[in-house]
Amino acid sequence: MAETLDTSSPKPKAKFPPGIPYIIGNEAAERFNYYGLRAILTTFMVAQFYNPSGSTDPAMVQAAEATANAKTHDFVAMTYLLPMFGGMVADWFWGKYKTILWLSLVYAVGSIMVALSVDSEVMFTTSLMLIALGAGGIKPCVSANVGDQFDSSNSELLPKAFDAFYASINAGSVLSILLIPYLKSAYGPTVAFGVPAIAMLVAVFFFWLGRDKYRRVPPPKTDPNKIVVLATAFFSLVASYLYFDKMLHKGIGPVLGAWLILVIVLAFVFKKQWFAKPGNFVGINLYALTNGGFEAAKKEYGEEAVEGIRSVWRVLSVFAFIPVFWALWDQSQSEWVVQASKMDLLWLGINWEAEQISFVNAAFILMFIPLFSFVIYPALNKAGIKVTPLRKIGAGFVLTALSFVIIAIIQGWIDAGQTPNISWQILAFVVLTAGEVLISITGLEYAYTQSPPSMKSTIMACWLLTVTTGNVLVSVIQNNIKDGGFFAQFHGEGFFWLFTGICAFTAVLFILISPRIKERSYII
């Protein structure tokens, strides 16, 4: 009997797309800018604007720290709210490349203005909002642009690309968190804010260099109705911000509340534009709601369209829990910094600046990414414990709550007049960082893979919106403390125990609900 030979060609080895190095290099420089700014933001505002005399009066110190922390969370909240608009601009009009390029220039201008306005609170906080506009605009596009570089021939490399992308974030942040506080101490705030501004200009240039390497997914033909939707939503936000924050100084919570009401009103004023196409996300959901559910909608719009809507809802059901994680994590860049300033900062034979300590978060990220990807996950799978995105997120909530247990204990020691060593806070960073790997990296991949092609940038913006929601929660509580309201009773260690309880409750709820959430991957 003749031997049968296999003449089929072997499948070519998958290769990383040529545009990925430029995207990752751009992200490293941009993150250097952002985390360098964040490292010194809270302590700078306390000393420069809210307690310039260095008063030790407990009431004044608490008010000054609460105000600076609230302002920091307001800035972060706006930075992660505006991706909703950046996502719409990219998906509807410009595409990801143009959106990233032009709004990066806005980002760079805002960074320069921050460095030049360290003596004026009004100009300083206004410049921060310009940074939020630029940074927020590009955020949903950059990570989605990573995914766009892949197709069916190399999609198996996508998780590694997201790992490299996240590693670039932390490589840039490690360097900036170590360097910028030193520059602030040695050369003053203008230089300290100016160096990140230069890094942002480098980021823009590096991204532009790769312009011919990117795989670009073009946006659809411009729809005039979408221009009305974007314009009314954006300018109503600007109006709400100018009135409630700049005039009444109420913080980001009332701004977003007023904006939501105004958007709903304008949606019905311009209902011809807002609800122009019944086949869109809103239209299909309204049809399903009024005609017997999604099975009825399938007959009207097709199974694929309706399944895409269902996928979006599944993604959003996961996202509903994530704000609690960010409410805790972002305190490591503000409230934890204030706590560190009251601790013994001698560690490894070095007297550190309080603002430098959070570098360990980024350093641990760089160590934990390969540890989890190549050791822990494979070991668990081999042991018969299936590692899924939702299980990762559930475990991440548990670890995040545990990190705040450590922080609350530290604060109790400080309230009792002790000066604990900073190594205790570093232990909390170890636990928090493990939770971050399980939630944040997983969430980025989940947001991209589980959303339909037509909504990837917008869904990424929804992921980033979870950061806004978490920071709004902290801002509202800090503003309430500043004004002597209900949450003023949660001072000192009580503040951190409050968030420990919130996160623990969320962890239990997510672990109970997540097994009921189905998953479907969309890779174009």
Please report where in the chains the tokens 């059901």 appear, as a residue: 317
pLDDT in tens, 140-163: 788 778 778 777 677 777 777 777
> Does pLDDT of 3 surpass 80?
no
Q: How confident is the model at residue 272 (pLDDT cuts 50, 70, 90)?
A: confident
> Does pLDDT of 325 surpass 80?
yes
pLDDT value of residue 10? 59
What 8-state DSSP symbol labels residue 480?
Answer: H
Based on the number of CB atoms within 10 Å of its own CB, is 299 exposed (0-12), middle (13-18) or buried (19 or more)? Answer: exposed
Q: How confident is the model at residue 439 (pLDDT cuts 50, 70, 90)?
A: very high
Q: Give whichever of 41-45, 247-251, 285-289 has the largest mean pLDDT.
A: 41-45
> Does pLDDT of 444 surpass 50?
yes
Residues 6 or more apart in contact with residue 193 via CB below 8 angstroms: 37, 40, 111, 114, 115, 118
- Taken in order 392, 164, 427, 345, is the CA torsion positive or negative? negative
> Does pLDDT of 1 surpass 50?
no
The neighbouring-strand residues paired with 350 are 347
> In the chain, what are the domains?
20-223+320-516 (1.20.1250.20)
CA 245 to CA 254: how far, in whole Å?
Answer: 8
> Does pLDDT of 2 surpass 50?
no
The neighbouring-strand residues paired with 346 are 351
Span 66-91, mean pLDDT?
Answer: 88
Q: 513: which 2 tokens?
A: 């609900």
Q: How confident is the model at residue 128 (pLDDT cuts 50, 70, 90)?
A: very high
pLDDT in tens, 201-235: 998 998 888 888 887 877 777 778 888 888 888 89
In this prediction the pTM is 0.82
Span 273-277, mean pLDDT?
Answer: 73
pLDDT value of residue 146? 79
> Does pLDDT of 27 surpass 70?
yes
pLDDT value of residue 283? 74
Listing DSSP states for 395-429 in one string gives HHHHHHHHHHHHHHHHHHHHHTT---BTHHHHHHH
